[in-house]
Amino acid sequence: MLKPAILALIRQILTLAGTALVAKGLVQASDLEPVIGALLTIGSAVWSVADKRRR
């Protein structure tokens, strides 16, 4: 139950950081969503593997 909440928090933090980068003109808005999705996917996979190894 904790994992979805933490992933939602991370998604919001990444969105906030991405919005700041778009506002400064460093990143295009169309590039932001795939990057955030990829980071969440990779993070979730790493978390899953680490959790399985602890058991």
pLDDT digits (tens, 9 = 90+) for 31-55: 888 888 888 889 888 988 988 888 7
Share of the chain above pLDDT 90, in %: 15
* Of 3, 5, 15, 2, nearest in space to 47 by CA: 3
Which pTM was predicted? 0.67
Residue 32 has a CB neighbour count (10 Å cut-off) of 17
> Residue 1 — pLDDT band, cuts 50, 70, 90?
low
> Residue 24 — pLDDT band, cuts 50, 70, 90?
very high
